[in-house]
Amino acid sequence: MDSIGYWNIRGMNKLNKQLEIRRFIQLNNISLFGILETRIKNKNWGNVRRNIWNNWAICTNNSCHSGGRIWVVWNPSVYHLDVKDMSEQAIHLKVTTRGNLKQFWVTFVYGFNKIAERRNLWRDLRTFSSMVDDAWIIGGDFNNVLYSNDRLGSEITLAEVKPFLDCTHDCKITDLKAVGSFFTWNNKQEVATRVYSRIDRTFINDEWLEAFPDAYAHFMTEGTFDHCPCVIHLDGTPRRKIAAFKYYNMCALAPTFQEIVEKCWSSPVMGTPMFRVAGNQIKKIESMLLIALNEIQKKIRESPFDPDIIAAEIAI
């Protein structure tokens, strides 16, 4: 079964971000995706849609907030969606899988930064829970920690945790089992001021466990972003698709770029001159840089305040 995903990408007006999101969706076999903190300008709306999901359906909560905070996109050949409700901080949907007509509820969340403003989010989720009559999954950036171990580098107070915790109890939802990064956001700063938080979460109700007992959430490394993307595998088996190669200029900013280029260029490749350059060597360069960044961020999971590891991440 095709996967579901969501990601806070902190703005989607630049082409390189649009292409990165499209690549991510293709690689992870995602057919329903929530994009958070889009910041799309009205003049860019049509171009963004054409660049990423020309044949996909889309809904946004722009009618609730002028900033275009949440976009939901889906492949209409895989899923049929009914938008049941939305607010400034959430979009609530009823989903039908076209293959087997299986139905479930999905809510994508992007919470406001201030505690007082998130009160409306907790109210919205309670309202949504009263509408739900089947399996329900809620995912997104809540901008709120839930437990005392959900942040490193900054104190957690009861005042910020309790309203969120009360809401999960009232809605009868629990965390979906997850793998990958525990902390889903960090401020990308130096060791002395670095903060890690678990503010992106995936919740489910009891009916979801019955309908999708093998489902799990995979919080992947964030790469050049500050939030980790989440892929929800409904049948427990991740599948990957091969996508077309894209090169991004940001790769050349890495201090190890020249060394990697020389290493890749010196390795023998069979084929025409064009294939050796476009089809293989450049792909090797970008792959090695992304692999290096991914490995560094995996090490950060184990040693989040190691100065050498953090310096290496910042350098790339």
Residues 103 and 164 in one domain: yes
Residue indicated by tokens 């992106």: 200
Residues 189 and 97 in one domain: yes
Residues 168 and 23 in one domain: yes
233, 268, 298 - which closes a domain: 233
Residues 227 and 271 in one domain: no
Across 137-160, b (16+ Cβ under 10 Å) vs e yields: bbbbbbbbbbeeebbbbeebeeeb
What are the pLDDT digits (tens) for 185-237? Answer: 999 899 999 999 999 999 999 999 999 999 999 999 998 899 999 999 998 76
Residues 187 and 256 in one domain: no
Q: Look at residue 46 and tell me whether its pLDDT is greater than 60.
A: yes
Residues 17 and 45 in one domain: yes
Tokens of 33: 């995706």
Average pLDDT, the chain: 85
What are the pLDDT digits (tens) for 85-107? Answer: 999 999 999 999 998 999 999 99
Point out the least confidently predicted range of 115-124, 204-213, 302-311. 302-311
Task: Using a cut of 0.75, tell me whether the model's pTM lies above it.
Answer: yes
- Its domain, for residue 271, covers 249-315
Proportion of the chain above pLDDT 70, given as a percent = 80
Of 15-19, 68-72, 145-149, which one has max mean pLDDT?
A: 145-149
Own/partner contacts of 24-27, CB < 8 Å, gap of 24 or more, are 24/229, 25/52, 26/241, 26/243, 27/240, 27/241, 27/243
Query: For the chain, what is the domain count?
Result: 2
> For residue 18, is it within any domain?
yes
Residues 201 and 267 in one domain: no
Residues 262 and 186 in one domain: no
Give me the pLDDT at residue 286, please.
58
Residues 16 and 96 in one domain: yes
CATH code of 183's domain? 3.60.10.10
Q: What is the average pLDDT across 18-38?
A: 94
Residues 305 and 192 in one domain: no
